[in-house]
């Protein structure tokens, strides 16, 4: 076989292998993460109260919400995802960013270089954070066992097919592979991406 034919055969073989492992979709609705210091300003002294656990181990949605504000508008009831972080971070869809009138960049969680400024208001006070607002980069969480089984490496850029059988089947390029023993297998998209492909939580997607 020529080198090209060998590469095509290897790619096809890998794609067929990965296609045996469906990945559940998780739709991330707008939310925020907070430092303990910003928490105190926004909510006073008490600690966040757990509302429900998330599929990713150790993460949970809190009862507490804030209002997020930009030059063109506000969005209320933006929920806290705990536990505390070392940086305060607000994750919205680009539709949300347009409502706020803020030009927010696509970033992986915690990668706040170039993140947009935003004002956050809670029941006890407000913080204006200079670099907190991002649109999340779509990504797939893998436990190391899943990654080994599916032959995926941390940091790899994946192509994910989703919405099969619905009115808006879509192939998303540029989906970041995140591998950690703290993760469960899940493809995270935001609400714009979920709506563009007509997805809901728990729908199945496939690496291609």
Per CB under 8 A, residues contacting a second copy are 93-95, 98, 105-106, 137-138, 163, 167-174, 189, 191-193, 195-198
Q: Measured from the CB of residue 131, what is the shortest distance to a second copy in angstroms?
A: 18
CB distance 163 to 203 below 8 Å = yes
Q: Measured from the CB of residue 150, what is the shortest distance to a second copy in angstroms?
A: 21
Give 167 or 181: the residue with its C-beta nearer to a second copy.
167
For residue 21, give every residue at least 6 positions away whose Cβ sits within 8 Å of its Cβ, in sequence order, or none: 146, 149, 150, 185, 206, 207
| Omega before residue 127 within 30° of 0, cis | no
Give 180 or 191: the residue with its C-beta nearer to a second copy.
191
Give 53 or 174: the residue with its C-beta nearer to a second copy.
174
Strand partners, 28: 190
Of 185, 71, 86, give the one whose Cα is nearest residue 128: 71
Q: Measured from the CB of residue 123, what is the shortest distance to a second copy in angstroms?
A: 23
DSSP strand pairing (139-142 vs 186-190) = antiparallel
Give 104 or 150: the residue with its C-beta nearer to a second copy.
104
CB distance 89 to 103 below 8 Å = no
CA of 87: how far to CAs of 27, 46, 93, 158, in Å?
23, 19, 19, 27
Give 48 or 163: the residue with its C-beta nearer to a second copy.
163
Of 96, 59, 58, give the one whose Cα is nearest residue 77: 96
Q: Measured from the CB of residue 195, what is the shortest distance to a second copy in angstroms?
A: 4
């Amino acid at each position: 076989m020529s080198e090209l034919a060998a590469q095509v055969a290897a790619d096809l073989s890998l794609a067929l292998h990965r296609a045996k492992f469906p990945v559940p979709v998780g739709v991330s609705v707008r939310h925020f993460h907070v430092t303990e210091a910003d928490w105190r300003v926004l909510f006073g002294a008490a600690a966040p109260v757990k509302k429900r656990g998330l599929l990713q181990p150790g993460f949970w949605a809190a009862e507490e919400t804030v209002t997020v504000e930009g030059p063109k508008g506000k969005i209320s009831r933006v929920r806290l995802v705990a536990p505390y972080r070392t940086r305060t971070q607000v994750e919205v869809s680009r539709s949300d960013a347009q409502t706020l009138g803020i030009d927010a960049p696509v970033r992986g969680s915690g990668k706040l270089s170039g993140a947009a400024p935003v004002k956050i208001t809670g029941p006890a006070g407000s913080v204006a954070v200079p670099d907190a607002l991002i649109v999340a980069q779509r990504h797939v969480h893998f436990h190391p066992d899943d990654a080994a089984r599916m032959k995926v490496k941390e940091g790899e850029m994946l192509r994910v097919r989703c919405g099969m059988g619905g009115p808006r089947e879509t192939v998303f390029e540029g989906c970041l592979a995140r591998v950690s023993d703290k993760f469960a297998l899940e493809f995270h998209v935001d609400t714009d991406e979920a709506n563009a492909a007509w997805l809901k939580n728990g729908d199945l997607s496939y690496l291609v």
